[in-house]
């Protein structure tokens, strides 16, 4: 009910991180239907990573919610009362589908399986929302599989109202009865705890993976249990390089120590549209990062020199020798490049001359 209250009270951005079988898709359908009826005219745009999720997911539930609505299109994922008052399904595969849509009335954007939607669509949705100042809602719901997705970073933004749905709090589990048919049940949760968790030891209360169920303390051993049952990001990464715990440690502020060494990493570009990159590290902290396009090797070398001088003025003398070393490395890279080009030209000339001789 808290989620519906937030929608009804005018929250503009709502994020729901959920366990499996909590009724996420049905929730999206109900919110889409409510918005369509509440605001006239209004546009409701529903998106998911693949078309099948829209057709067999939200729109299947929408047809159950509104079975007698005469405005359903026969085959398309669209319910249209008028050209400016409709519900439309859009696959999150081409960002152009979100481009140029500015509603004259209400605007509702629903992301189902939001963690699987690419950042480009989040950017387009943000742009659309900022262009429509009133009667707007952006609702995202997802299972927390990917701690590197835009949904993860949105959850840590104060702009979003965040809700968490855990299977342990579902009525079917809390009351040990099938009050909601088809949803998660107590036996399922109990069986997964038995197979994927262990009893917690003393002192583990603050450790990632800790939870309480039926007045007993447990530790998660399978990260999928975190996602699918508890509805939270796993402490161990599953399909991304960084897990939630690692990301948290990276984002936690660290007090700089003036005695730490400043180190500069440089990656010079060589061909095509590749970019040259500079990263400055002060001890264990990244304090600056830049990328450049179209710089020659000498120009990039001068940029490195500027950075070395900049951070040397802050009282660190270790950058001078590093600057000289970086310049030497760049000169060597430049020489190798030139020598490679020369050898390539000579080899091609030799082949051409050899081919000409054989023909004569």
- Asked, for residue 256, whether it belongs to a domain, the answer is no
- Per-residue pLDDT tens digits for 254-266: 788 878 888 888 8
pLDDT at res. 348: 75
pLDDT at res. 127: 85
- Asked, for residue 178, whether it belongs to a domain, the answer is no
- Asked, for residue 176, whether it belongs to a domain, the answer is no
- Per-residue pLDDT tens digits for 324-341: 566 666 667 667 777 777
Residue 201: DSSP 8-state: P
| For the chain, percent of residues with pLDDT exceeding 70 | 82
Strand partners, 18: 165
**Alpha-carbon gap, residue 21 to 173, rounded angstroms:** 12
- In the chain, the number of structural domains is 3
Cβ atoms of residues 38 and 72 within 8 Å: no
Q: Concatenate the DSSP letters of all residues of 16-27 into one string.
A: EEE-TTS-HHHH
User: Domain check: are 216 and 279 in the same one?
Assistant: no
Q: Which of 230, 251, 272 is the last residue of a domain?
A: 251
Any idea what the CATH number is for the domain that residue 36 is in?
3.40.50.300
| For the chain, percent of residues with pLDDT exceeding 90 | 36
- Per-residue pLDDT tens digits for 132-179: 767 899 999 999 988 888 998 899 889 999 999 999 999 999 999 999
- Comparing C-alpha atoms, which of 171, 192, 168 is closest to residue 181? 171
Cα 355 to Cα 49, 345, 347, 359, distances in angstroms = 54, 15, 12, 6
* Owning domain of residue 325: 262-353
pLDDT at res. 261: 83
**What are the contacts of 330-337 at 24+ separation with CB within 8 A?**
330/266, 330/268, 330/297, 330/300, 330/301, 330/304, 331/301, 333/268, 333/270, 333/297, 334/297, 334/298, 337/270, 337/297
Which has more confidence, 309 or 137? Answer: 137
**Alpha-carbon gap, residue 307 to 327, rounded angstroms:** 12
Which has more confidence, 271 or 113? Answer: 113
Within 10 angstroms of residue 249's Cβ, the number of other Cβ atoms is 11
User: Domain check: are 119 and 7 in the same one?
Assistant: yes
pTM score of the predicted model: 0.66
């Amino acid at each position: 009910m808290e989620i519906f209250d937030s929608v009804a009270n005018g929250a503009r951005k709502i994020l729901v991180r959920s366990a499996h079988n909590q009724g996420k898709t049905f929730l999206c359908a109900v919110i889409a239907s409510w918005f369509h009826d509440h605001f006239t005219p209004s546009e409701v745009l529903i998106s998911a990573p693949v078309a099948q999720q829209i057709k067999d997911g939200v729109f299947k539930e929408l047809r159950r919610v509104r079975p007698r609505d005469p405005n359903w299109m026969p085959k398309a994922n669209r319910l249209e009362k008028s050209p400016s008052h409709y519900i439309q399904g859009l696959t999150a595969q081409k960002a152009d589908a979100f481009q140029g849509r500015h509603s004259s009335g209400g605007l509702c954007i629903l992301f189902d399986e939001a963690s699987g939607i690419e950042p480009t669509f989040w950017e387009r949705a943000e742009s659309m929302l900022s262009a429509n100042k009133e009667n707007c809602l952006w609702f995202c719901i997802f299972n927390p599989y990917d701690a590197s997705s835009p949904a993860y970073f949105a959850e840590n933004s104060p702009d979003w109202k965040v809700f968490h749905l855990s299977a342990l709090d579902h009525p079917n589990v809390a009351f040990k009865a099938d009050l909601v048919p088809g949803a998660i049940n107590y036996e399922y949760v109990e069986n997964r705890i038995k197979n994927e968790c262990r009893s917690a030891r003393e002192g583990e209360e603050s450790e990632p993976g800790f939870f309480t169920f039926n007045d007993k303390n447990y530790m998660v051993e399978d990260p999928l249990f975190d996602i699918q049952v508890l509805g939270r990001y796993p402490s161990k990464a599953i399909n991304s390089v960084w897990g939630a715990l690692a990301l948290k440690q990276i984002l936690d502020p660290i007090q700089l120590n003036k005695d730490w060494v400043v180190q500069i990493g440089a990656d010079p570009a060589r061909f095509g549209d590749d970019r040259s990159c500079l990263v400055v590290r002060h001890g264990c902290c990244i304090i600056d990062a830049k990328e450049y396009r179209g710089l020659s090797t000498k120009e990039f070398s001068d940029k490195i020199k500027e950075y070395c001088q900049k951070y040397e003025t802050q009282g660190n003398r270790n950058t001078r020798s590093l600057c000289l070393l970086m310049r030497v490395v760049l000169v060597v890279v430049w020489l190798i490049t030139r020598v490679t080009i020369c050898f390539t030209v000579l080899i091609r000339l030799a082949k051409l001359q050899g081919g000409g001789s054989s023909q004569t």
